[in-house]
Amino acid sequence: MQQYFYDLADFVGVQLQSGEIYTTYLTGENSDFCRFSGGKVRQAGGVKQYSLSLRLINGQRHAQGSLSLSSHKDSDRQQIKDLLGILREQLAELPEDPYLLYATDVQSSEARRQNLLPDSREVVANIIERASGLDLVGIYAAGSIYRGFANSLGQRNWYESYPFNLDWSLYLQGDKAVKTSYAGFVWEDGAFAQKLADAKAQLAVLNLPPRTIKPGQYTVYLAPPALAEVTDMLSWNAFGLKAHRTKQTSLLKMVEAGVSMNSAVTMRENTAEGLAPDFSDSGYRRPAQVNLITNGHYQDSLVSPRSAKEYGVATNAAGDGESPQSLELAAGTIERSDVPQILGEGVYINNLWYLNYSDQSACRMTGLTRFASFWVENGEIKQPVNVMRFDESALRMLGDKLVGLTKERDMIMSAHTYERRSVNSAHLPGAVIKDFSFTL
């Protein structure tokens, strides 16, 4: 696919007229998906898709479009010619863009993983066999993922990866379930068997009579997947330069009112250790790290090329949404095995669900517990807890209410597949939080 993309890029270059520049970005995948319900197969199949985004620049004017590639040279070349025609017509009608910024330093790169994936149908058959008699629900997604960039200055970037992601839950009854995932690049049947055994062991605790707790304030532990829901909310709008300059960031009180988080909180966009490509769709190379929050204080923002031009600062190759793709929260000092004892009496929360802001300026979020959440008493896990709604400021969760973060961290590979399989990841510890507010 790499050579095919580069050949198309060369073709675009040949089509240019005087004064024109192009940039192009490819997203592609050849994916297998199998959806499980009740330990059986609900839907299974494959999706082969390649999308080419093309930007035509002439002076300070530019227009952008995308098309789906057919993988046949003549057909795709004709599609590109047609799209270039549309973009040229648009350029003639467009004003100059004061915020146009594009990469002019040629920084080519190539990152390619070896394909070590086994046949997906055999993996799925094996999962079904091992989960026989169990109520397993979820999805197996596997296959190639491609990203490519090219421009008329000669820059060429390529990213090729072959991950799998089994995102699944084991249900006991009703809404009582254990959620887990198994993701990586080399499928190991033994590793899956161990995860399945661990989940089955947790089901035994879920089988105990559930406890319904009253609204109020509790000491809680947010396991890394639960904390990831909180950081996903922050990723939505907290770290972008545009959100900061237009006062829409949920961290407004950190930058306008002197509020800080706990000094243990250090967050970075860590491209060097994440799974996403180190180049953006605009052709800029991403720095290894961007320090977002350091020792509880806001530090740097994610800056897209457009925001960089608008606000007169340097870009750090963020996408248009200025959201992290490879977020990292520094490890703390709590041993994960000590969490129940530190909680004493409280709630051990493995997963949160459906977060949203109830007061964005105050960074106050609401959401719910989901899957396996347990009541802890005398430092021991006692019984499952029925679903509870919380409403709490993330500034306090990670500020004066934060007891500590765990030493151990999970590398969470995103299972999102809207339009295409995600390459995002998060590297997070768990968090013990006191006076956490449950409301319903």
Partner 1 sequence: MQQAQFAHIKKLFQETVPTVDFASLRYHRDCDDLVAVRQDVLEPLRTNRDQGVMVTVHHRGGIGYGATSELTPSGLREAFARAVAWAERLGSVAVTDFSKIDMPHKRGEFKSPVREPWDGLSLRSKVEMLSDASRRLKRGSSIVDWSADLWHLRSDRLYLTNGGGEIYQSFDRLVPSLSVTANKGSETVTRTFGHMAVCRQQGFELLAETGFNTASEQLAEEALELLAAPNCPSAQMDLLLAPDQMVLQIHESIGHPLELDRILGDERNYAGTSFVTMDMFGRYQYGSPLLNVTFDPSRPEQAASYAFDDEGSPAELQYIIKDGILLRPLGGTISQARADYDGVASARADSWRRPAIDRMSNLNVEPGTVFFEDMIEGVERGIYMQTNCSWSIDDSRNKFQFGCERAQLIENGKLTKVVKKPNYRGISSNFWRSLKSVGHLSNMEVLGTPYCGKGEPNQAITVGHASPPCLFANVDVFGGE
Q: Tell me whether residue 177 or residue 267 sits nearer to partner 1 (CB atom).
A: 177
Residue with tokens 């949920």: 250
Q: Tell me whether residue 54 or residue 405 sits nearer to partner 1 (CB atom).
A: 54
**Minimum distance from residue 129 beta carbon to partner 1 (Å):** 9
The 3-state secondary structure of 41-74, one letter per residue = EEEEEEEEEEEEEEEEEECCEEEEEEEECCCCHH
**Minimum distance from residue 378 beta carbon to partner 1 (Å):** 29
Q: Which residues contact 373 (CB under 8 A, 6 or more apart)?
A: 347, 348, 349, 350, 351, 384, 385, 388
Beta bridge partners of 404: 432
**Minimum distance from residue 415 beta carbon to partner 1 (Å):** 8
Q: Tell me whether residue 336 or residue 389 sits nearer to partner 1 (CB atom).
A: 389
**Minimum distance from residue 318 beta carbon to partner 1 (Å):** 15
Q: Tell me whether residue 364 or residue 409 sits nearer to partner 1 (CB atom).
A: 364
Count the alpha carbons within 13 Å of 106 in the hemisphere toward its beta carbon: 7
**Minimum distance from residue 400 beta carbon to partner 1 (Å):** 14
Q: Tell me whether residue 93 or residue 105 sits nearer to partner 1 (CB atom).
A: 93
Q: Which residues contact 181 (CB under 8 A, 6 or more apart)?
A: 165, 166, 167, 168, 412, 413, 415
147 with 277: CB under 8 angstroms? yes
Strand bridging mode 326-329 / 364-377: unpaired
**Minimum distance from residue 182 beta carbon to partner 1 (Å):** 13
**Tokens describing residue 168:** 């699944």
Q: Tell me whether residue 271 or residue 284 sits nearer to partner 1 (CB atom).
A: 284
**Minimum distance from residue 380 beta carbon to partner 1 (Å):** 27
CA distance linking residue 188 with residue 157, whole number of Å: 31
Q: Tell me whether residue 54 or residue 432 sits nearer to partner 1 (CB atom).
A: 54
Q: Which residues contact 188 (CB under 8 A, 6 or more apart)?
A: none
Give first-to-last CA distance, the chain, whole Å.
Answer: 52
Q: Tell me whether residue 254 or residue 290 sits nearer to partner 1 (CB atom).
A: 254
**Minimum distance from residue 2 beta carbon to partner 1 (Å):** 18
Number of H helices, E strands in the chain: 10, 19
CA distance linking residue 242 with residue 306, whole number of Å: 9
- Which amino acid, 139? I
**Tokens describing residue 175:** 């809404």
CA distance linking residue 29 with residue 47, whole number of Å: 8
